[in-house]
Structure formats: C-alpha cells, structure tokens
C-alpha cells in the first residue's frame, strides 16, 4: 500500500480543475500458471472493483478506469560498507474530469512520483516529489504493461510475464541523490487477498486489486552528493488499484512488506481508526516454494511499542511494533526514526515510510523491508 490523497490543491497544481469549464493467494510451486496476454475486462469508473482473474502482462499496466493506482518499490541497497534504504512510488489518479472534455489542458489523469533514500551513513532521509497531468510528453501511466514516467523519472517492466525485469531511475539535485536500478524476479507473483482481490473493509466496494513481487534481486548504482557506488540488494514491489479503499471510520493505515532472509515474504496491514483501533486488517505469508497463507481480518494484531514525534508535522508515529499473525509473531523496528515524508507539494499529506528490520520473538533479525504509516498527522482523504 502507499498513500495518495488527492487534494484540491494537487488538482490545481496540475491544472486538472480547468479554467475552461464553469492493497493473498500466491502461485504454488510446480504448477502451470495461465497468464493470458489479452487485456483484462474494462470497468466503468465509479462502479467499484469486483473479483476477477488478473491477467499478465496486461495487469502490470495502468487501469485508468479506476480512481487510484500505484506502483510501489521499496528495498535495500548495499554498498561496500553500508546498507541504505530506497523507495520510488508512481501514483496515477483519475480526477473526475471526463476524457472527452474539449480543453486539452483539462487532464483526466494525474501522475505523481515520490522517491527517497534512507541515507544510513548520514542518518537522514533524502526525498523528493513530482506531479504533472498525464500527457504532453511529460507524464504517462501506460496500459498493457508497466511503463510509468514523469519527465526523466521512470519505472518500466520488460521480459516474459513470469520473468520480469524492472528498471527504475530517479534523481534529485535538491536532495542530493540519484539511483538507477534493475530488479529481477526470483519468485512468482504474489496475489494478495483472494487471487488478487484484496478486501479493505466489510462493504463490497471497499477493496482493491493487489499483487506483490517480493524478493526482487537489485543491482545498479546509487549516487549521494555526486559520489556514485555500485549497489546490490533486495526489493519489494506492490501494484494496487481501486475505486474505494477506506471506510468512513478509517483515518489511515499501517503496513509492512518484509523480505525475510530465508526467502519468505510477509505483508501485513491494518486500516486504523482515530482512536488507534483496527477498522480492518489482513495480510499474507509465503515461504519459499509454497503457496501463500492469507490472513483473516481478526487474525492480525498491531501493538505499538516505541514512538517518535516529528519536529515537522508534530505527528507521533510508532517506530517499533509487535505484529501478531497466523504465521508467527514479530517485532518491526525502524532503522532510522525520522523517515517522515512531507508530500504537501504533490499529494498533500505527511506520512512515514522507511527502512525497518524484522525480528523474531527471540530478538534475532530475520528480515528487512519497509514500514508505512499514514493518517497520523491528519486523517487521510482518498
């Protein structure tokens, strides 16, 4: 999951309010996966997400009939002496302006990008953001396969559907980072929820189509303040699209995506009420070579431990959690407290997203990945 509150300010930034008009089921080993190349059935915007088979490579691409969509890559980058964290997230949002609008400036789709490096040597988060209306050769979210871009920042998939290679590039002069990375699949696509239909609440329209690609093998180059280093690492990709993701009683969510050292993959989320209780929850666990275990909403528990208060937003975030799941109990521990992103220049919200370690009940590190927390500075509006 990843946060994409679309505010009126964001729409105005892109001219999308025109002046011309008044989030699991995996693939078991040694089985044949049917992956048609035909496009998935189109749905009319506003009628909601419904269960259907996911088709690849078509569903790797954009779904412009839905309201919100994101491609979310996080992971570790190992240099010769230190392990950094990184994230790049491309968002696509349908504005509600019809594609048939007579003004070519009245964009029906917006594209946002957030990119960050958790600089573990300097103990600080470097981050930047971009926003643009789709089209004009500036921004795109292509249908049919993963190809999202905003100016020179991009994420693109290539290769057979079962052997994906992704390439990503992001560079920020103001934040002093640049990464150019390749990501190779080492495991089958992980279909979250019921074969890729992930419920986010008790109502029929509170759902998303959602798949993950954990344990991606990373190679490439990371530059910090102009000093380039070759890197290797592990990454996690989420692709999720929906019309309605949160119920009225939810203010945000907590999410983890963890690559375990033994090759397992753990994803756990909860939608959170203002009083800190869970409005809905779920997740999955997949051991290497096995089918995924899908978690029921009442089988997941997040218990906050240590907290950190942001000097920027004044929000207080739990930067350590105890997570109880049917696949075991774990502690999630941030490796850098201040990994809060200020996205008021694009999506309009503060949220916390950062490199964290996964510990077992004996305190032994068993994996690394990302923790994301939204709705702590203010209620999230999707």
Q: Which domains does the chain have, with CATH numbers?
A: 8-20+53-374 (2.40.370.10)
Percent of the chain with pLDDT over 70: 83
Any idea which of 40-44, 228-232, 308-312 has the lowest mean pLDDT? 40-44
Pairing type for strands 25-26 and 68-78 reads unpaired
Distances (CA, A) of 143 to 18, 24, 81, 95, 337: 25, 24, 40, 17, 37
Any idea which of 36-50, 95-109, 300-314 has the lowest mean pLDDT? 36-50
Q: Is the pLDDT of residue 19 over 50?
A: no
Banded pLDDT at 11 (limits 50, 70, 90): very low
Q: What is the DSSP string of 105-154?
A: TS-SEEEEEEEEEEETTTTEEEEEEEEEESBTTTEEE-SSS-EEEETTEE
pLDDT in tens, 49-82: 789 999 999 999 999 999 999 999 999 999 999 9
pLDDT number for residue 199: 94
Banded pLDDT at 348 (limits 50, 70, 90): low
pLDDT number for residue 150: 97
pLDDT in tens, 74-112: 999 999 999 999 999 999 999 866 555 555 556 789 999
pLDDT number for residue 248: 80
Q: Is the pLDDT of residue 133 over 80?
A: yes
pLDDT number for residue 48: 57
pTM of the entire structure? 0.88
Mean pLDDT in residue range 279-290: 97
């Amino acid at each position: 999951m990843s946060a994409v509150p679309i505010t009126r300010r964001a729409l105005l930034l892109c001219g999308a309010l025109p002046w011309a008009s008044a989030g699991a089921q995996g693939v078991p080993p040694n089985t044949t996966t049917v992956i048609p190349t035909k496009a998935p059935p189109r749905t009319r915007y506003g009628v909601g997400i419904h269960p259907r088979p996911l088709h690849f490579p078509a569903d790797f691409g954009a779904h412009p009939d839905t309201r919100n969509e994101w491609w979310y890559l996080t992971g570790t980058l190992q240099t010769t002496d230190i392990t950094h964290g990184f994230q790049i997230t491309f968002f696509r949002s349908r504005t509600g302006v019809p594609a048939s609008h007579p003004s070519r400036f009245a964009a029906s789709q917006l594209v946002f990008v957030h990119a960050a490096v958790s600089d573990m040597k300097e103990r600080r988060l470097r981050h930047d953001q971009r926003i643009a209306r789709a089209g004009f050769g500036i921004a795109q979210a292509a249908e049919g396969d993963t190809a999202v871009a905003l100016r020179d920042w991009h994420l693109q998939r290539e290769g057979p559907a079962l052997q994906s290679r992704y390439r990503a590039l992001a560079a920020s002069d103001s934040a002093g980072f640049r990464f150019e990375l390749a990501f190779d699949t080492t495991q089958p696509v992980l279909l979250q929820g019921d074969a890729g239909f992930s419920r986010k609440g008790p109502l029929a329209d509170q759902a998303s189509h959602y798949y993950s690609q954990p344990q991606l093998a990373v190679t490439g180059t990371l530059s910090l303040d102009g000093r380039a280093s070759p890197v290797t690492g592990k990454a996690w990709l989420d692709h999720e699209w929906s019309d309605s993701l949160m119920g009225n009683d939810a203010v945000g969510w907590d999410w983890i995506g963890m690559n375990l050292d033994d090759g397992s993959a753990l994803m756990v989320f909860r939608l959170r009420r203002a009083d800190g209780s869970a409005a809905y929850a779920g997740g999955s666990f997949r051991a290497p070579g096995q089918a995924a275990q899908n978690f029921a909403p009442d089988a997941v528990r997040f218990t906050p431990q240590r907290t950190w208060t942001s000097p920027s937003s004044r929000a207080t975030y739990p930067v350590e959690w105890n997570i109880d799941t049917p696949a075991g109990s774990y502690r999630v521990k941030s490796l850098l407290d201040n990994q809060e992103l200020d996205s008021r220049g694009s999506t309009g919200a503060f949220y916390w997203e950062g490199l964290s370690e996964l510990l077992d009940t004996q305190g032994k590190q068993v994996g690394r990945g990302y923790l994301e927390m939204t709705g702590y500075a203010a209620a999230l509006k999707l």
